[in-house]
Amino acid sequence: MKRYFILLLLCCSTSSVYGKNLLTIHTYTSFVSPLYGPGAQLKEVFEKQNPDVEVRYIANDTLPILLNRLRLEGERTKADLVLGLEDLVMDSALFEKTVPYASCCLAFTYDSQKILQPPQSLEELIQSPHKIILQDPRTSITGFGFLVWMKKAYGEKATEKWKTLVAHVLTFTKGWSDSALLFKKGEAPILLSYTTDALYHELTEGHPQFKAMVFPEGHLCSQIYAAKTKVTKNNILADKFIAFLLTPEAQNLIVVKGWGYPVSGEIPDSWLKAENYLSPPGAIPFTSEEVSTESKKWLQEWIDGLIK
């Protein structure tokens, strides 16, 4: 009886201390990274505006892993929202509502101190001798994006192009963060990343020698979404957080901390004045439905392209 009473006191105590409305948000690791993620700052501002709310992030290594987790959990998931969903991996079966809050474009970042004459097109990159760090399309959203990029650029010749490219790929990492660490260590002079990656290196690290390649064939670009799960019991609070993401203050944090292009805010002066700022380049067209239907086939072509 005494043991039960102590447990009851602990439960009551915990409830009084943490007696707030809990909003559980699933996202990917880099979103909550103190280096290049806006997660912590967005949480701080939203909780300050809503003192009765606690935002709790559940970080997954990559977006594909996150979605697989949600599918496995099904109706048992605790997730109210997912942040970081992209056009590349939309799953309408999981979500009641999706709202874009930013956008991004893939690009290759290179070290201009090591490569004086960078490739001027995707084809030149494929044919070049330079070592490249890529991400695995089965586990990484950037890797999967490049899979789609290659397919849309080369169609039935994609497997042949993969065979040429893989000859000078250093590695396929599980996610972008792993690739970025290898690049910073100088393991290879080219990294599959984003158009804002070089800007990040310039403004936060003082390394303007890292540049982005812009290709005339176009780039793979995507909207970035907040998605409310179908099973959330916090509909009003989830909608409130989504609306918050579109406010000027949140949009600014998404830009300067998350390095994405805003959907409703302005590009900051610090970006516009930077040597390495790039506006969104020309985009290669694709649809979420097309990618969902063809992704298994395209992944098999990639695997075939790795076999010499």
Determine the Cα–Cα distance for residues 49 and 135; give it in Å rounded to an integer. 38
What average pLDDT does the structure give for the chain?
90
Q: Are residues 175 and 298 in the same domain?
A: yes
Q: Are residues 229 and 217 in the same domain?
A: no
- Model pTM score: 0.86
Pull the structure tokens for residue 172.
Answer: 């396929």
Q: So what's the pLDDT on residue 81? A: 95
Query: Cα 21 vs. chain centroid, distance in angstroms?
Result: 27
Determine the Cα–Cα distance for residues 161 and 138; give it in Å rounded to an integer. 19
Q: Are residues 85 and 31 in the same domain?
A: yes
Quote the number of domains for the chain: 2
Q: Are residues 200 and 229 in the same domain?
A: no
Indicate which CATH number applies to the domain containing 243.
3.40.190.10
Q: Are residues 171 and 217 in the same domain?
A: yes
Which parts of the chain have pLDDT scores under 70?
Answer: 1-18, 308
Determine the Cα–Cα distance for residues 270 and 282; give it in Å rounded to an integer. 23
Q: Are residues 27 and 66 in the same domain?
A: yes
Task: Look up the domain containing 61 and give its range.
Answer: 2-103+222-272
Q: So what's the pLDDT on residue 67? A: 85
DSSP secondary structure letter of residue 75: G
Q: Are residues 12 and 161 in the same domain?
A: no
Q: Are residues 8 and 63 in the same domain?
A: yes
pLDDT digits (tens, 9 = 90+) for 296-305: 999 999 999 8
Query: Using H for helix, E for strand and C for coil, what is the string for 213-227?
Result: ECCCCCECEEEEEEE
> What's the Rg (C-alpha) of the chain?
21
Q: Are residues 170 and 292 in the same domain?
A: yes
The alpha carbon dihedral of 276, 281, 286, 287 has a sign of positive
Q: So what's the pLDDT on residue 14? A: 31
Strands (E), the chain: 21-28, 53-60, 81-86, 95-111, 132-135, 169-173, 190-194, 210-213, 221-229, 261-262
Q: Are residues 299 and 177 in the same domain?
A: yes
Inter-CA distances, 188 with 109, 115, 169, 176, 185, Å? 11, 11, 9, 14, 8
Q: Are residues 213 and 226 in the same domain?
A: no
Q: Are residues 112 and 137 in the same domain?
A: yes
